[in-house]
């Protein structure tokens, strides 16, 4: 059987999450900064979720909005070939 004591002894992964933008005091995520935005897109072209990027929800919303704007202008691809 699975004990509750074993469940409580598991290390939590939430402790090592630090937002990239909060740590570097970045307030505005610019859609023209393609090099920064590419870090938050996977090889297929999808926006990477918060669990992988370790970004807070406030900055994840601004990053996704900036990626969408950059896609519409043509700076980032919608889908990678």
Residue with tokens 């059987």: 1
- Give, in degrees to the nearest 5, the angle at Cα 43 between 39 and 49: 55
Tell me which residue of 54, 60, 57, 58 sits closest to 17, measured CA to CA: 54
> Average pLDDT of 40-61?
93
> Average pLDDT of 12-33?
84
Domain locations along the chain = 12-73
- End-to-end distance of the chain based on CA atoms, in angstroms? 48
pLDDT, position 81: 73
> Average pLDDT of 52-59?
93
48 pLDDT exceeds 80?
yes
Task: Give domain 12-73's CATH number out of 4.10.640.10, 1.10.10.10, 3.40.50.300, 3.40.630.30.
Answer: 4.10.640.10
Mean pLDDT, all residues of the chain:
86
């Amino acid at each position: 059987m699975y004990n509750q004591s074993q469940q409580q002894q598991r290390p939590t992964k939430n402790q090592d999450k630090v937002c990239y933008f909060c740590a570097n005091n970045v307030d505005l995520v610019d859609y023209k900064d393609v090099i920064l935005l590419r870090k938050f897109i996977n090889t297929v072209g999808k926006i990477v979720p918060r669990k992988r990027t370790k970004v807070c929800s406030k900055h994840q919303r601004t990053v996704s909005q900036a990626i969408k704007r950059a896609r519409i202008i043509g700076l980032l691809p919608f889908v990678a070939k």
